[in-house]
Amino acid sequence: MVEPRSTLPIPFGWFAIGVSSDFASGGVYTLNYFDTEFVLWRGQDGKLRALDPFCPHLGAHLGKGGEVVGNDLQCPFHHWTFEGQGIVTGIPYTPAIPPQLKRPCGRGWRIEERFGVVYTWFHPAKADPLWELAAAEELENGEWDRVDGQQWRIGVHVQEITENGVDYAHFRAVHGTKSPPEPTWEIKGYQRNSRVTAKMETPRGLVDGTIVVRNTGPGQSFIRFHGISELLVVNLPTPINREATLLRQEFYVPKSLEGSPRRAAMGVARNIMFQVEQDMPIWENKRFEPRPILVRGDGPILDYRKQYAQYYAEPVEA
């Protein structure tokens, strides 16, 4: 019997589940994340809604033949219709809907759209959100352009991907970074912020640069580059199950950035994506070490794990 490479559970939080253009008006979509399944649709009002996939009436799968009727989802079996909290809005062959079917039933998923990315709140016990979806302040005024984006399906637990950022020693060993980062840290509840100023390699030689990272929960990270270029990376890891993650990265630059500064920013973006692909074969073949043997220079891995442990609904060894 092959032992699992990680015994960590799936964390709770806000996670990206796609981009807005993936979900057309009137479309019904079955999504598989968090080692579970749910059905999402976009109503006539343009709003996205999501429910657990099986009709509570006689168990039909709402994503297999279900249709959008106005803003509601119609079951393919008996044409019951549901709104986004699971409330029954119509039964075509019954004159009166029973009162218990007119109440939210706990089958709904909270969905938010922010700057073209679709997020859901996941908690294994269906608990309400413990913090608000974070926003990128750079994008609020409409003065930044999305210039690139990429996604990867990676065979590793989601915590391993974000923990990689505090594994300072690997930057030199895997990526050949001449000046591995050693940022300052700040932890405030569900937020973790860091800042590093370092020499960064460019075609023009070493340039002073600053990287500011703002994390909220396990599924949202905003990485802002200054100096070497003006670039914002929105890093969005989402658990598929305990041993697989979908990692999305969205890249933005100021609309005013032109010429060589814009090309420099795009070069940094390409290098970030290249580094992910350098890490992937290691991630996909490693196992999680709950009691690692660490030495000076490894980075604050244990501090990171202690903070990350709060995103689990069950106790874990930090």
What pLDDT score was predicted for residue 201?
62
Left if phi > 0, otherwise alpha if psi is -120 to 50, otherwise beta: which for 189? Answer: left
Please give the average per-residue pLDDT across 265-281, as a whole number.
94
Quick one: pLDDT band at residue 147, thresholds 50, 70, 90?
Answer: very high
What is the pTM (predicted TM-score) of this model?
Answer: 0.94
pLDDT reading at 56 higher than 60: yes
Please give the average per-residue pLDDT across 98-113, as a whole number.
92
User: What is the dihedral sign for C-alpha 264, 265, 271, 275?
Assistant: positive
How confident is the model over 197-219, as pLDDT tens digits?
766 665 566 667 889 999 999 99
**Residues 6 or more apart from 41 whose CB is under 8 A from it?**
23, 26, 27, 28, 29, 48, 49, 50, 66, 68, 73
What pLDDT score was predicted for residue 316?
83
Quick one: pLDDT band at residue 178, thresholds 50, 70, 90?
Answer: confident
Higher per-residue pLDDT: 91 or 137: 91
Token pair, residue 240, equals: 């598929």
- Across the beta sheet with 108-109, the strand order is 28-33, 36-42, 48-51, 108-109
Closest by CA to 158, choosing from 68, 248, 66, is 248
Please give the average per-residue pLDDT across 287-314, as a whole number.
94
* Three-state helix/strand/coil letters over 198-237: EEEEECCEEEEEEEEEEEECCCEEEEEEECCCCEEEEEEE
The CA dihedral of 184, 187, 190, 195, to the nearest 10 degrees, is -20
The CA dihedral of 216, 212, 171, 257, to the nearest 10 degrees, is 120
pLDDT reading at 18 higher than 70: yes
What pLDDT score was predicted for residue 1?
65
pLDDT reading at 43 higher than 70: yes
Please give the average per-residue pLDDT across 156-177, as a whole number.
92
Quick one: pLDDT band at residue 3, thresholds 50, 70, 90?
Answer: confident
Percent of the chain exceeding pLDDT 90 equals 78
**Residues 6 or more apart from 207 whose CB is under 8 A from it?**
199, 200, 227, 228
pLDDT, averaged across the chain: 93
Token pair, residue 32, equals: 């598989």
Please give the average per-residue pLDDT across 129-152, as a whole number.
94
Percent of the chain exceeding pLDDT 70 equals 95
